[in-house]
Amino acid sequence: MSTTAIQPHEKEIRDAEELLFTGPQRQGFAKGLFFGRFVADWVTPYPRLPAEQREKLDAVMPELRRFLDEELDPAAIDRNADIPRSVIDGLAKIGVLGMTAPEEFGGRGFSQMANCRVLEEIGARCASTSVFVNAHHSIGIRALLLFGTPEQKRRWLPPLVRGEKLAAFALTEPEAGSDAANVQTRADISEDGTHYILNGEKRFITNAAIAQVLTVMARTKIPGSDETAVTAFLVTPDMPGFSVTEPRMEKLGIRGPATGRLAFRDMRVPRENILGPLGKGLKVALSVLDFGRTTFGACCTGAAKTCLRLATHHARTRRQFGHALGDFELIKKKIARMAASTYAMEAMTTVTASLIDRGLEDYMLETAMLKVFTTEALWQIVNDAFQIHGGIAYFTDLPLERMLRDARINHIGEGANEVLTSFIALVGMRGPGMQLKEIWDALHHPIGHLKRAWRAGWDRVGAALHAPSVLVKSDALHPHAHRLSRLIWRFNLAVDRELIRHREAILDREYVQERIANAAMELFASSCVLSRWDADMQAGLMHHDRAAGLFLRESSRRARQFLAGLRDNDDEVINAAAEAVLRHDGAP
């Protein structure tokens, strides 16, 4: 092993430091899993809304449901590729466009958990509308809420929170998609130092043409150095040099919100419009997307519930071969798995939102896991609901063809699932990787390293010898808790083994990363489900028992398979086959 073992390349470390919060933090749940720990406090007891938030939510939900029932026509929004102003105004009146903003700025002061219930309700009916709300509220005004100075908040937030102005978040460019750090839009300081002059293009921006306030990411020079870094700016469309080059790009699904292209030509942005620290735009962007990924989970959960309801009704009422479809095992399997996944999606969303509400500083892993897990689960659920309906699902009388089209963006938007999968594995493995490096350094240079290495070694050995305790209140759940504990232990051993086996090359081993990330996501999902099921049992709620039990059994089997795949796989054969096809430009 070389001394650089397990240490990511220097640039990647710098990028990671930029993206991750580096100050002292309490260990989160997902990071704990990679150390072989079950950090129980973050998932148990299953989070419930505090009374004051419950009251606020109870006051809003009937009004919201009534409005959505009477005024929201998802089919028309899809057909006309437009969300009517009356819908936007109605949502604003109910407070949806400023749900989590503090009351002093005119917002509702909702926690993220309560906000997720609102988004679940909207996501259950119309993905276009939930994407619009997310673009405005979850990512559009989030940077201001998190990083705005008191003066910026006072000036910009009130009209946005009231919905008089709309917001957008503009990061993506032709050369900066998944590689968000590759922003090419430049922001050069003016000679008198009062302005930044922006030049560049943005594409695929939700609300681009209808927003009055945009958070725009641009590359600035770091003072006193030749290097550049990304900075966030508050931009308004009345700034000379701002242009909408395409207001509404024609698209497959979520056709309601206007997704557009922007160009900036010598656009002067006042210096005081910098949002967050100069050069820390990626941190701003990633923090904002973190928040958006939580509401993604809520919207997917809502859509999954709709699919389950439609599929169940159809399976009970449609008869073929003298039986209801629900009598056939291949339909039962789909229905059971839809219910199991939906239960898990809701549990993961609730736990992840509660992490934000309870002040965990770094919840990037959990939000990334939630986004990947719920979007993949929803895709399967929509597809199963579609299949159960047969030919009738193909026609526009039912919402399923629209839901299928709408669900496709989820794998791509706010971080493509492949990129997030790698991110989960690499960020998760960083902690144990650093410990293994301490031990390695101490073996070769004992002076100065021994104390830290001793601690790291003790931690690694401890995790290898003992499965973590996973405690539940309900006796009936002990076997599930025991199985989860053993799996976390096996997962931790697998993480250490892969780090030692691949060393720094782990950065390029996406198959390994995928298996580690998938196993970690199953462990997180199972932990949330176990916690929720335990709370349900304690409260005497038994109607989800079967779905929860099925989820835990299947999730544990999937996790074991992912770990087994680290040893038994066709990775090299797949690489060789892909490279051959790539060499011949698509010819098999």
Any idea which residues carry the catalytic annotation? 414
Region for residue 276 given its phi and psi (left: phi exceeds 0; alpha: psi -120 to 50; beta: otherwise): left
Burial class (CB in 10 A: 0-12, 13-18, 19+), 250: exposed
Q: Residue 84 CB, nearest distance to ligand FAD (Å)?
A: 19
Question: What Cα–Cα distance (Å) separates residue 193 from each residue in 188, 197, 268?
Answer: 10, 10, 11
SS3 214: strand
Chain positions contacting ligand FAD, by CB under 6 A:
135, 169-172, 177-178, 204-206, 251, 254, 259, 409, 412-414, 416, 418-419, 422, 510
User: Is-contact 229 218, C-beta < 8 A?
Assistant: no
DSSP conformation letters of 98-167: GTTS-GGGT-----HHHHHHHHHHHHTT-HHHHHHHIIIIIIITHHHHHH--HHHHHHHHHHHHTTSS-E
- Number of CB atoms found within 10 A of residue 273's CB: 18
Radius of gyration of the chain (CA): 25
352 Cβ neighbours under 8 A, 6+ residues apart: 294, 297, 363, 366, 367, 370
Peptide bond before residue 45 is cis, with ω within 30 degrees of 0: yes
CA dihedral 54, 60, 66, 67 (to 10 degrees): -140
Instruction: Pick the closer one to ligand FAD by CB: 246 or 418.
Output: 418
Nearer to ligand FAD, 411 or 490 (CB): 411
Distance CA 417, CA 424 (A): 10
Q: CA dist 518 to 31, 110, 161, 334, 547, Å?
A: 14, 32, 38, 21, 21
Phi, psi for residue 235 in degrees, rounded to 5? -125, 145
Q: Please, what is the minimum distance in Å from the beta carbon of residue 376 to ligand FAD?
A: 13
Helix (H) / strand (E) element for 182: namely: none
Put residue 393 in one of left, alpha, beta given phi > 0 → left and psi -120 to 50 → alpha: alpha
Choose between 138 and 273: whose C-beta lies nearer to ligand FAD. Answer: 138
CB of 363 to ligand FAD, least distance (A): 20
In the block, residue with structure tokens 């003790």: 458
CB nearer to ligand FAD: pick between 204 and 296: 204
Q: Taking the CB of residue 155, how many other CB atoms lie within 10 A of it? A: 14
For the bound state, the minimum distance from the C-beta of residue 20 to ligand FAD, rounded and expressed in Å, comes to: 18
CB of 180 to ligand FAD, least distance (A): 7
Q: Using the minimum distance from each CB to ligand FAD, give the nearer residue, 7 or 206.
A: 206
The one-letter code for the residue type at 159 is: P
Of the pair 217, 360, the CB lying nearest ligand FAD is at 217
Given a contact cutoff of 8 angstroms between Cβ atoms, the answer to whether 255 and 77 are in contact is yes
Instruction: Give the shortest CB-294-to-ligand FAD separation in angstroms.
Output: 16
Tokens of 270: 């006042």
Minimum distance from residue 232 beta carbon to ligand FAD (Å): 12
Pick 327 or 571: Cβ nearer ligand FAD: 571
CA–CA gap between residue 51 and residue 70 (Å, rounded): 29
C-beta nearest to ligand FAD: residue? 177
Q: Please state the closest distance from residue 510 (CB atom) to ligand FAD, in A.
A: 6
Q: Minimal distance in Å, beta carbon 208 to ligand FAD? A: 8
202 forms beta bridges with 262
Based on the number of CB atoms within 10 Å of its own CB, is 162 exposed (0-12), middle (13-18) or buried (19 or more)? middle
Pick the closer one to ligand FAD by CB: 15 or 510: 510
Cross-strand partners of 49: none
Q: Quick one: 410 or 556, whose CB is closer to ligand FAD?
A: 410
Closest approach of Cβ 457 to ligand FAD, in Å? 33
**Would you give the DSSP letter of residue 21?**
-
